[in-house]
Structures are given as C-alpha cells and as structure tokens.
Amino acid sequence: MYAAVVRSFDRPPRYEEFAAPEPTGRQVLVDVLAAGLHPRVRSGANGTHYTSDGSLPLIPGVDGVGRLPDGRRAYFVADDDGPGTMAEQTLLDPRRAVPLPDDADPVVIAAAMNPAMSSWVALRRRISFQPGQSVLVLGATGNAGQMAVQIARHLGAAGIVAAGRDQQRLELLTGLGATRTVSLAGDPAEAADRLGKAAADVDVVIDYTWGAVTERAIPALLTQRAERSAALDWIQIGSMAGPDITLPSFVLRAANLRIMGSGQGSLTAAGIVAELPSLIDQFTAGTLTAAALPVPLAEVERAWTAPIETGRRIVFTPSASA
C-alpha cells in the first residue's frame, strides 16, 4: 500500500510504499477514506507530542473515516501505539469506532471530529454545562475554537465571548453564535484588559491558548468579576500560545476558580467514544458545520509545509474510493 511515512522528525512525511499492517485480536484492516491533519498529528509526526517514544519510521494520523471489509463506513480513533491513519489502509479497533450514517460526508467528518470533540466532551463530560450559562472561548479563531462557539450555542449558552488574533475570522464567528468578540492581537496587557472587560462574568472558559495569553487572562477576568465567589470553570484544552503558565496563588484564594483539563486521560476512551454518535448526528443534520480542504494523500509532503489556512482543516483522502 501507499502511506505518508515519517523517517525523520525534522522532515515532513513522504508518500511512499509501505507494508500494510496485520490485524491482531479484534482489529480490522480498513481502507482509509479521509484523515485530518490536526495539530495533534503534526506534534506526533515531529516527535514533540508527550506520547512520542522516538520510534521511526511512523505513519502519522490519529483518526479518520474508514471503509470496513463489508462496505460499511466508520469514524474511528487510531490506537495510540498502532499505525496512523494517513495510509491507504490501517487498523480499526471496533471499540474506538462508530458507524457513519449513509449521508455523512467522510471529508467533513474527518475534518470536524477532532476539533469538535474537544469542546463537546468538555461541556458534556468534564462539567455539567447548563443552558443559560455564558462561555469565553480563548483561541476561538482556530478549527477547535470555531467549533466550540457553535457547540456552546447549540448547548444553549446565553452569552459566548470569542477571543482570537485573526480579525477576519473573529468577524465570521458572530455568524456562528458569538455574542461578542475580543481581539487578542497587539499589546498583550491591553488584550488582557479587553478580555477582562468583556468576559469577567462568564461561567466557563474553554481555553485553546494557555501560555502567555492565559497567564494574563486569568487575573484579568478574576479581578474584574462582579461576584468573585461565583464559580468559574476554566477548561484547559489546547496550548497554542505555550505549554506553561505561572499562576499567582492569590487568584485561587480570591475567587472561585476551578481549573481542569479535558482530553484523553482526563476522560476515558470509552467516555469519549460514547459521545461520538451524537456529535456525528449534528454534522449530518447540519446543526454544526466544518470547513475542510480535501487533498490527495500523494500530495502530503507539499500540503504539510504549505501555509496553514486558518479555520479550514486539511483532510487527506488516501483511498481512491473516498
């Protein structure tokens, strides 16, 4: 078969022939119809993800849509220690797969599920989000952020503050459900002040930035909060602005701040998989939308290093029948 193959962590994958994997146990060999190029895929392929054990060569790709031997299609999440999904064929574990309805577009599903799942499971499993609550999405201009805005609206958020750097994308978020937008561009202290003024009284923060953005945002929000003892659930999901923050101890004493993460590990794989069918339903019904850019897998090397089109996810289509 042909696959995207990483042979060095400092070079993009190349399209080349590779031995098809052999299923063991419950695994099934599937034809891959679509696989998204998510940030998590890039960090796995350049060896910087925390699960990376340095082994090469590897086939990247954490999820995708596959066609089973009986013709059915399924969205699936690849096993952590198995081959990735950016190949004509890969292994599917039925415990990490859900069937796709006939009218589901595999490219849209492959683009959408990873970014959408992040806020869907966070709001439904990490906290008990209630209609009428308000949300700040930090890093709302990315694929996951724009999904979080739509999902917060779908789950009944009364107010949705969308914060990001890209002004054009920020403006588009109003059409997706944001009730207010805040620019994170320019002077960091001024951006934090804008955030504090716009979002001090939200109930939930969905945070894709962390790093310097969050470090300034936490005190900016908490010190301007009308009711400090009102709970603020800060859900850490991504770290686009840096892996670490320094947190002054007073913010934990002076307000009712509850910081938690959401992702694989803070949720069980079974818990995440249980949420997938209802999320897929939203895409087939058109309640949620995602922008996808399908690219033949043969073009992986070029597409990997091409400038990233924010808000539109590259989806490789390895199998000709996609």
Binding positions for ligand NAP, rule: CB under 6 A: 38-40, 114-115, 118, 139, 141-145, 164-166, 184, 208-209, 213, 237-241, 262-263, 310
Q: How far apart are CA 4 and CA 23, in angstroms?
A: 19
Q: What's the closest the beta carbon of residue 304 comes to ligand NAP, in angstroms?
A: 13
User: Which one, 181 or 317, has the nearer CB to ligand NAP?
Assistant: 181
DSSP labels, 195-258: HHHHHTT-SEEEES--HHHHHHHHHHHHHT-SSTTS-EEEEE---TT-S-----HHHHHSS-EE
Please state the closest distance from residue 117 (CB atom) to ligand NAP, in A: 6
Are 58 and 84 within 8 A, CB to CB?
A: yes
Minimal distance, residue 38 CB to ligand NAP, in Å: 6
Of 189 and 230, nearer to ligand NAP (C-beta) is: 189
DSSP code for 38: -
Quote the CA–CA distance of 152 and 133 in Å, as a whole number.
9
Cα distances (angstroms) measured from residue 262 to each of 87, 126, 139, 268 = 29, 7, 15, 11
Nearer to ligand NAP, 67 or 216 (CB): 216
User: Which CB, 40 or 73, lies closer to ligand NAP?
Assistant: 40
CB count in 10 Å sphere of residue 26: 10
Question: CB 186 → ligand NAP: shortest distance, Å?
Answer: 11
Task: State in angstroms the smallest separation of the CB of 85 from ligand NAP.
Answer: 15
- Nearer Cβ to ligand NAP (90/114): 114
Smallest gap from Cβ 123 to ligand NAP, in A, equals 12
Nearest Cα residue to 111 out of 15, 207, 34: 34
Which of residues 68 and 269 has its CB atom nearest to ligand NAP in the complex? 269
Rg (CA), the chain: 20
